[in-house]
Amino acid sequence: DVKVTQSSRYLVKRTGEKVFLECVQDMDHENMFWYRQDPGLGLRLIYFSYDVKMKEKGDIPEGYSVSREKKERFSLILESASTNQTSMYLCASSSGLQGNEKLLFGSGTQLSVL
Amino acid sequence: DQQVKQNSPSLSVQEGRISILNCDYTNSMFDYFLWYKKYPAEGPTFLISISSIKDKNEDGRFTVFLNKSAKHLSLHIVPSQPGDSAVYFCAASNDYKLSFGAGTTVTVRA
């Protein structure tokens, strides 16, 4: 059963901590994405990657960075966590570059920054 | 500035009746549209899609309609079932990035 796996379902961190969110996919997909979901705002794209070691900023990249050293793994990094980064974080992957590939999402990580 | 808008945050419908979810977009370059469904504590799952060259796509109980001139699409669920209670996100793309709406929470009453 193909899937996208996020390492943590719930995470509680303190302001100023460095936070790593890990995502692994087993479908050999080229593209990987990080979204955050907030009430009333839907899903907003933070960063995406269309190849190993490649990354592109999404709509809200400020305060975040990413790493893609291997095709199957895409990490989201909060260099210095702040309370406004409390959110549900969703990783997704897709294949190809046609613009109509269906994203496959992980179950999400609910991050609370205190 | 959100390019995809779902103006109804919630919808309550009786079991067996039709659910109609609406979505508007502003970017005329979008050429592919999708609907995702999300249950609590799970990631969104793909439901149905439509290309900009079509005006209707049907899959079982789910039908998506696209009106390009009005930059509007809708999702019809007929008949609605209790398992359809979830958050529904509209999404649009013009490359391999998707822009999502804020979501509509559907509650199907028995």
Per residue in A42-98, pLDDT (tens digit) is 899 999 998 898 999 998 999 999 999 999 999 999 999 999 999 999 999 988 666
Contacts of A62 (CB under 8 A, 6+ apart): none
Could you tell me if A57 lies within 8 Å of chain B, comparing CB atoms? no
What gap in Å lies between CA A78 and CA B90, rounded to an integer? 28
Could you tell me if A25 lies within 8 Å of chain B, comparing CB atoms? no
Q: What are phi and psi of B106, to 5 degrees?
A: -100, 130
pLDDT (0 to 100) of residue A49 = 93
Contacts of B32 (CB under 8 A, 6+ apart): A99, A100, B49, B50, B51, B52, B92, B93, B94
CA nearest to A36, candidates A26, A24, A48, A44:
A44
| Better-predicted residue by pLDDT, A22 or A95 | A22
For chain B, residues with pLDDT lower than 50 are none
pLDDT (0 to 100) of residue A98 = 60
End-to-end CA distance of chain B: 38
Best A4, A23, A37 member to test B by mutation, with max B CBs in 10 Å, is A37
pLDDT (0 to 100) of residue A99 = 54
Residue A100 confidence class, pLDDT cut points 50, 70, 90: low
Secondary structure letter of residue B2 according to DSSP: -
Please judge whether A90 and B96 are an interchain contact, meaning their C-beta atoms are less than 8 angstroms apart.
no
CA nearest to A5, candidates A73, A102, A95:
A73
pLDDT (0 to 100) of residue B78 = 97
